[in-house]
Amino acid sequence: MDNSAHKFLELIQNPVKFIFFLLTRLPAAYFSGVRLKYADESQAVVTVPYKWFSKNPFKSTYFACLSMAAEMSTGILAMMHTYQKKPAISLLVIKVEGNFFKKATGISSFSCEDGQVFKQAIQEASASGKSTTVAARSTGKDRSGDIVAEFVITWSFKARIN
């Protein structure tokens, strides 16, 4: 693992710093209960509970909260591989696709295992100066391991050449 990815992981795995990040940058995720469960260079797992702030009228987790958790599981990997890169890399979500399979009525865990795909695309963008994209899959499961939703979040990366 490169040094900048390691530094990023240290930052986000510090509970106080991660909560501060959520409160200042993603307050809706904080209040919805979206939390980082696990992250390494290739995988990130993010949870979202079914609770008052994240529920819908159908007694399940609101789709937007599920989408936030899915996006964060991919975004952590994207941010990790762009952290402190020279030249800086801009990143942007350009497409979100979601499929829902089962009511989410408890804690849902969203996992993305595309870290190496992100790393390669970001290296490409840095070397070429051209835009690259990654369509990252995030699968959400309930406590029993049943899939509740699956998202494909497409990210765009481009080196900021001055």
What pLDDT is stored for residue 161 in this prediction? 77
Helix (H, G, I), strand (E, B) or coil at 138: strand
Question: Which of 2-16, 23-37, 42-56 is least confident?
Answer: 2-16
Q: What is the dihedral of CA 8, 15, 136, 113, to 10 degrees?
A: 90
Which pair of structure tokens corresponds to residue 9?
């992981």
What pLDDT is stored for residue 109 in this prediction? 98
What's the fold here for domain 3-159?
Thiol Ester Dehydrase; Chain A (3.10.129)
Q: Where are the domains of the chain?
A: 3-159
Q: Report which of 43, 47, 42, 41 is spatially closest to residue 18, judged by C-alpha positions.
A: 47
Q: Which amino acid is at 109?
A: S
What pLDDT is stored for residue 4 in this prediction? 87
What pLDDT is stored for residue 29 in this prediction? 94
Which pair of structure tokens corresponds to residue 2?
């490169």
Which residues make Cβ contacts (< 8 Å) with residue 98, sequence separation at least 6? 63, 66, 67, 70, 149, 150, 151, 152
The HSE-up count of residue 44 (CA atoms within 13 Å, CB side) is 30
* Pairwise pLDDT comparison (126 vs 147), residue with the higher score: 147
Which parts of the chain fold into alpha helices (H)? 3-12, 15-25, 27-32, 63-82, 115-128
Of the pLDDT bands very low, low, confident and very high (cuts 50, 70, 90), residue 57 is very high
What pLDDT is stored for residue 66 in this prediction? 97
- Overall average pLDDT of the 76-90 stretch: 92
Q: What is the pLDDT of residues 87-117, one digit of tens each?
A: 899 999 999 999 999 999 999 999 999 999 9
**Cβ pair 91, 136 in contact under 8 A:** no
Of the pLDDT bands very low, low, confident and very high (cuts 50, 70, 90), residue 118 is very high
What pLDDT is stored for residue 82 in this prediction? 92
What pLDDT is stored for residue 1 in this prediction? 66
